[in-house]
């Protein structure tokens, strides 16, 4: 039986999605929870990896499992065995050839920047103390939309895999004292989103102008790596498959109301 799992998690306590030796990971916790249901033979594959400390609002995985339990019963039993910061939202039967990663047609990420100190949301935002020029940040974001070589924004080796990626949208939204960076595209390279956010913030601070930021697409540069935004503010928002609605409303993970 092949099942599609939609999963939310807070990544703060974990070393990313993928199973690693001597480290707690999201995939490792889910596998342990599935074993607790009595399943002996199964394999689970995620739509992609998230790094240490990165969160997910709707990660997708597929599960090949030999089980007679109805999907929703299996979901409840898995959740009973998971820590509180990982939750399986849905389990549904899918066709035998469905693959969570290979069948995905797009992904979107949300990055939350706090413009004030917060007592409650520290694990889910990057607090930027400096005033930010949103106009300059939006002009820069527009330069990154389209098909580009994002080699300077990733640790992926261009000799081993392509560093080209299509960014469909890269927008900034204000929600109270939160600034939301929303990006949607075909796929994303390792650390690409956090480095894009870091460059946008540096432009907003006045440390980099729009043209200099756009020029980072022209070849290798150490600057984006130095400006990498913290993992705490990043959420895998959605994974899209053929027929899924696109460009859905952008909603913050938490409310951060302005000071009175």
**Terminal CA-CA length for the chain:** 54
CATH 3.30.70.580 fits 2-93, yes or no: yes
pLDDT tens-digit series, residues 78-87: 999 999 999 9
Catalytic positions: 51
For residues 189-209, average pLDDT: 97
Residue 68: band (very low, low, confident or very high) from pLDDT cuts 50, 70, 90 = confident
Q: What is the mean pLDDT of residues 181-201?
A: 96
Q: For position 257, what pLDDT does the model report?
A: 67
Domain 106-240 belongs to what architecture? 2-Layer Sandwich (3.30)
- 2-93 and 106-240 in the same fold: yes
In the structure, what pLDDT confidence band is assigned to residue 95 with cuts at 50, 70 and 90?
very high
The pLDDT tens digits for 218-232 are 988 999 999 999 999
Residue 248 makes CB contacts below 8 A (sequence gap 6+) with: 238
Mean pLDDT of 204-212: 97
260 pLDDT band, cuts 50/70/90, is: very low
Per-domain residue ranges of the chain: 2-93, 106-240
């Amino acid at each position: 039986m092949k099942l599609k799992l939609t999963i939310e998690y807070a990544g703060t306590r974990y070393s990313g999605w993928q199973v690693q030796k001597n480290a707690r990971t999201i995939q490792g916790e889910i596998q342990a929870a599935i074993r607790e249901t009595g399943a002996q033979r199964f394999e689970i594959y995620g739509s992609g990896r998230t790094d240490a400390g990165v969160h997910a609002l709707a990660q997708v995985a597929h599960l090949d499992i030999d089980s007679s339990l109805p999907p929703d019963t299996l979901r409840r039993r898995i959740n009973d065995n998971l820590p509180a910061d990982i939750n399986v939202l849905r389990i549904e039967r899918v066709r035998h050839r469905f693959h969570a990663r290979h069948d995905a047609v797009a992904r979107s990420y949300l990055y939350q920047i706090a413009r004030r100190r917060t007592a409650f949301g520290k694990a889910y935002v990057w607090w930027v103390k400096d005033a930010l020029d949103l106009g300059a940040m939006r002009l820069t974001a527009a330069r990154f939309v389209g098909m580009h070589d994002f080699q300077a924004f990733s640790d992926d080796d261009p000799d081993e895999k392509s560093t080209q990626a299509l960014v469909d949208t890269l927008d900034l939204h204000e929600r109270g004292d939160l600034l939301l960076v929303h990006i949607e595209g075909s796929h994303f390279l390792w650390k690409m989103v956090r480095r894009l956010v870091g460059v946008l913030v540096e432009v907003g601070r006045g440390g980099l102008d729009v043209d200099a930021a756009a020029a980072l697409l022209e070849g290798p540069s150490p600057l984006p790596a130095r400006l990498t935004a913290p993992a705490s503010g990043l959420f895998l928002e959605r994974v899209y498959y053929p027929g899924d609605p696109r460009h859905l409303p952008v909603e913050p993970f938490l409310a951060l109301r302005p000071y009175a």
